[in-house]
A and B are shown apart, each in its own frame.
Chain A
Amino acid sequence: MKRHLLEAADLDRDDATLVLDTAAQIDQALAGREVKKLPTLRGRTVVNLFYEDSTRTRISFELAAKRLSADVINFSAKGSSVSKGESLKDTALTLEAMGADGVVVRHSASGAPHRLAHWVRGSVVNAGDGTHEHPTQALLDAYTIRQRLGRLDGVRVTIVGDVLHSRVARSNVGLLHTLGAQVTLVAPPTLLPVGVGSWPAEVGYDLDAALPKSDVVMMLRVQAERMNASFFPSAREYSRRYGLDARRMAALPDEAIVMHPGPMNRGMEIAAEVADSVRSTIVEQVANGVSTRMAVLYLLLGGSPQ
């Protein structure tokens, strides 16, 4: 494993499998226990450096670190020196001086974790940077798929929605490809980046054509405001062409599952009856997020400082 987890490409197939296997062992070790706490990272300090509001991701990382007995410091942009204009570099040097063993960073600027990794000695974990990547989300998604379907190799995953602005999509395309899954992207052409053809994924515009050939459908959050920039004409038209409703869900193979990284826009990209159906893994994804992040923290911080 590399020292940092900045993007899916930091994990080769063996590394990614190790993370998933570790998460599975942690899940098993903690299953049914009253005290869901391990002493593994006692004495280590993990800083959650969140420049963007994301309560769910922060809580997930916080819980993961605490279950491994690490000391956790939450450093959010609001109410700290960050909001007074302190630069990322100065913040990094401060954390460095305080002896952070790991920095979990969420930032609205793509590449901010890469910059941070230049300035701190501890391990940097990207918890979502701009429209770049969100690698632990991809790991927990892969873990969820493997848990439900028993495998990843050859699994057909269709990712639907605002690929252009989605860090989740970028990380999932990379990681799922690494793990042997076949990824298809479905979106209106305006929400696919120029250059998407170089990604290891099929690209299509027709959701109905893709569904019968999907073992997994991953719906991405679509912000209605995008229509103001003419990415699509209206929320209603988007929902009609690219939303997953019960009728479309019926076109899926029997064992297929429906995923969503959250937070959902019910009625926009996903209908309530789909989100609440037995195919939906949305709640499992949240639970799996904790064990997957425990695995990442253990593998990055558990060993020697080198």
Chain B
Amino acid sequence: MARSSDPARSTPPGSTPGTLLSPADVARVVDRMAHQLIERYARAGGVGDDDVDPGGGRGDGTAGLSDLVLVGIPTRGAPLARRLAARIEAFTGVAVDVGTADITLYRDDLRLRGVRALEPTVLPDGGIDDRLVVLVDDVLFSGRSVRAALDALRDLGRPRSVQLAVLVDRGHRELPIRADFVGKNVPTSRAQQVRVHLTEVDGVDEVLVTEEGNR
């Protein structure tokens, strides 16, 4: 699969110190992830040869995409999911459903992190039952956000399958969770901080690595 020859691995460091991805890099990575998603889902909606048979057997090459729902995890997973959907539509002409699932109320580390404002949970009309859900987040780190998101999804419906797409995988997992689609793998130390900025939220597209320690 494309992941094994991930070109983002070889992306040179950005012009500013600590810059991992420049605006142009972010656009490129998003495009590539969109292609990966198309590649995975456009053929018979497949979730992989070993996985559940998506059924359907639609012959138009995009049938699986119509079952796909990109569910972004706020804050930055939400615009990322919308961007991926927009690029998929640009490449295939198929409008992919997008949703958001706020996971704050599902976190198991509220005591450590403190409360924060909730963000919308919005699902496509008809919900996610029997759909092919791809959770979208900006950074994959401990895996706790993804665990919370899986718990949230369980309360929201029963998808046929769930996969995970992240812009950056920085390692240091604390749970048995892996991403199915990775924009960029970034080996980091725990002390480092990876910050994803997106225009919709932060006014600029970039990914930074800083040495400020854990959040």
Q: Do chains A and B touch in the complex (CB under 8 A)?
A: yes
Residues of A within 8 A of B (CB): 1, 18, 21-22, 25-26, 28-29, 33, 35, 37-40, 68, 298-299, 302-305
Q: Is the CB of A21 within 8 A of B118?
A: yes
**B155 and A37 contacting across the interface, CB-CB below 8 Å:** yes
Name the distance in Å between B172's Cβ and chain A's nearest Cβ: 23
**Chain A residue with minimal CB distance to B155?**
A35
Residue pair A303, B105 in contact (C-beta under 8 Å): no
Q: A35-B155, A39-B151, A40-B106 are in contact. Are A18 and B117 (CB under 8 A)?
A: yes
B105 touches A40 (CB 8 A): yes
Q: How far is the CA of A192 from the CA of B23 in the complex (A)?
A: 63
Minimum CB–CB distance from A303 to chain B (whole Å) comes to: 4
Q: Across the A-B interface, give the 7 residue pairs with the lowest CB-CB distance, nearest first.
A: A25-B118, A303-B114, A302-B115, A303-B115, A40-B105, A29-B121, A38-B105
Residue of B nearest to A22 (CB): B118
User: What is the bound-complex CA distance between A28 and B118, given in angstroms?
Assistant: 11
Closest partner residue, chain B, to A38 (CB atom)? B105
Residues of chain A contacted by B115 (CB below 8 angstroms): 1, 298-299, 302-303
- Interface residues of B, Cβ cutoff 8 Å to A: 102, 104-107, 110-115, 117-122, 151, 155-156
Residues of A contacting B112 with CB < 8 Å?
Answer: 304
Residue ID in chain A nearest B157 by CB atoms: A33
Of all chain A residues, which has the CB nearest B101? A29
Cβ distance B104 to chain A, nearest Cβ, rounded Å: 8
Bound complex: CA of A305 vs CA of B102, how far in Å? Answer: 23
Q: Contacts A29-B102, A39-B105; is A304 near B121 (CB within 8 Å)?
A: no
B105 touches A33 (CB 8 A): no
Q: Please state if B120 and A25 are interface contacts (CB–CB under 8 Å).
A: yes
A-B contact pairs, 8 of them (CB 8 A): A18-B117, A25-B118, A25-B120, A29-B102, A33-B156, A37-B155, A40-B105, A40-B106
Give bound CA distance, A37 to B156, whole Å. 11
Out of A18, A298, A304, A305, name the residue touching B105 (CB < 8 Å): A298
With A1-B115, A38-B105 already in contact, 12 other A-B pairs whose C-beta atoms are closer than 8 Å: A25-B118, A25-B119, A26-B118, A29-B105, A38-B155, A39-B106, A40-B105, A40-B110, A68-B105, A299-B115, A302-B114, A303-B114
Query: From B106, which residue of chain A is reached at the shortest CB distance?
Result: A39
In angstroms, Cα B104 to Cα A305, docked, is 17
Q: Inside 8 A of B121's CB, which chain A residues have their CB?
A: 25, 28-29
Tell which of A28, A29, A303 touches B110, judged by Cβ atoms closer than 8 Å.
Answer: A303
Given contacts A25-B102, A33-B156, A40-B105, contact A304 B117 (CB under 8 A): no
Q: Are B106 and A38 in contact (CB under 8 A)?
A: yes
- Decide if B117 touches A303 in the complex (CB within 8 Å): no
Task: Give A26 to B102 CA distance when docked, in angstroms.
Answer: 10
A38 CA to B151 CA in the complex, in Å?
9
